[in-house]
Amino acid sequence: MSQEALRSAPPPSTVEEEFDLLPTPVAAVPAPFPPLTFLLEEVRSPGMVRADIDALIVGLGRPPAPDEPLRERADLLLGLLDRNNPVGDHAGSGGMKVRHAAKEALIALGYPYAMELPPDLLEPQRTGGREPGLSSGDITLAVVSLLYQSGGLVGVGALLDYFRMPAATEVTVGIGVVLWLFTLLSMVGHHSRSRDLQVIGSAVLWSAAVVWSLIALPSALFTNGISLLLVPWHLALWTAYSLRPEPEPEESPAPRSPRPTP
């Protein structure tokens, strides 16, 4: 190395001083979560969007801050649980309603605040006044109704065969197969919570109830009302009602236009 290069190189002390002058990296401090009151006001504002509802639901799922009064948080949650509060009916992107998130948050507060949960919210969520899915009574009724209706179709087929109407007899057999198929389809729809299958199966079940009623009512005039007891119109009607489709889920409010940025 030439003497000129050695002369141009900075002394070691100078290089160390330059490193000392560099800014020391500062660890990023996480921003505090906004309080529930702020998130609630955002949802109540005229420019509310779906993201505001999601933020409120997420905020309800967080534990209270160390300096947050639990009494104030419980009062806010009870206000969201009020049936007359429209905010509780808002649903987030995942389908959860604000009222359900407030219920879970109030239970998470523990005693004594969880004891203030309204009694009607302690029961399982109902859909149109009925429990979602099928009960054992609904399944038993459907099976008994199918067996009874199948017996009635066998009797009708035997009567048609007696009058030498084989084609009509085959039709009764086909009706029995269709009845079993669509009843099972409706039951599968209730079990899997598929409303499309429920609607398809229900259409056939109501049609069967109407057909049996049209057979029972006119024949009652010639049998002194005995056909009203023997013809399974009542079982078909009861089955169609018990396996009726569940109401469509409530839609959340349409997202409003975003607030103009200043």
Q: What is the pLDDT of residue 206?
A: 92
Complete DSSP assignment for 53-95: HHHHHHHHHSPPPTTS-HHHHHHHHHHHH-TT-GGGG-B-TTS
DSSP per-residue letters across 186-234: HHHHHHHT-HHHHHHHHHHHHHHHHHHHHHHHHHHTTTTTTHHHHSTHH
pLDDT for 149 equals 86
- Candidates 55, 4, 48, 7; CA nearest to 33 is 55
- Cα distances (Å, whole numbers) of residue 187 to 95, 198, 205: 24, 7, 11
Q: What is each CA distance from 239 to 19, 148, 179, 255, in whole angstroms?
A: 84, 12, 12, 40
Q: Is the pTM of this model over 0.85?
A: no
Helix (H, G, I), strand (E, B) or coil at 127: strand
- At 124 the pLDDT is 47
130: tokens are: 């009925």
Question: Which tokens is 29 given?
Answer: 């401090």
Reduced to 3 states (helix: H, G, I; strand: E, B; else coil), residue 44 is: helix
Q: How far is CA 200 from the centre of its chain?
A: 20
Give me the average pLDDT of each 10-residue run along the chain (262 residues).
Answer: 54 51 49 77 86 88 85 88 86 83 86 78 49 70 86 77 71 82 88 85 90 86 83 86 76 46 42
**How far apart are alpha carbons 129 and 15 in whole angstroms?**
79
- Quick check: 78 and 88 in contact, CB under 8 A? no
The DSSP element (H or E) to which 149 belongs, if any, is helix 136-162
3-class secondary structure, 134: coil
Could you tell me what percentage of the chain is helix, strand and coil, using 3-state DSSP and rounding each to the nearest 5?
65, 0, 35
Angle between helices 36-44 and 70-81 (to 10 degrees): 30
Tokens of 233: 């119109």
How far is 207 from 178, CA to CA, in rounded Å?
Answer: 11
* Euclidean distance between CA atoms 84 and 18, whole angstroms: 67
Q: In whole angstroms, what is the distance from residue 95 CA to residue 259 CA?
A: 23
Residue 11 buriedness (CB in 10 A; 0-12 / 13-18 / 19+): exposed
Position 12 scores a pLDDT of 52
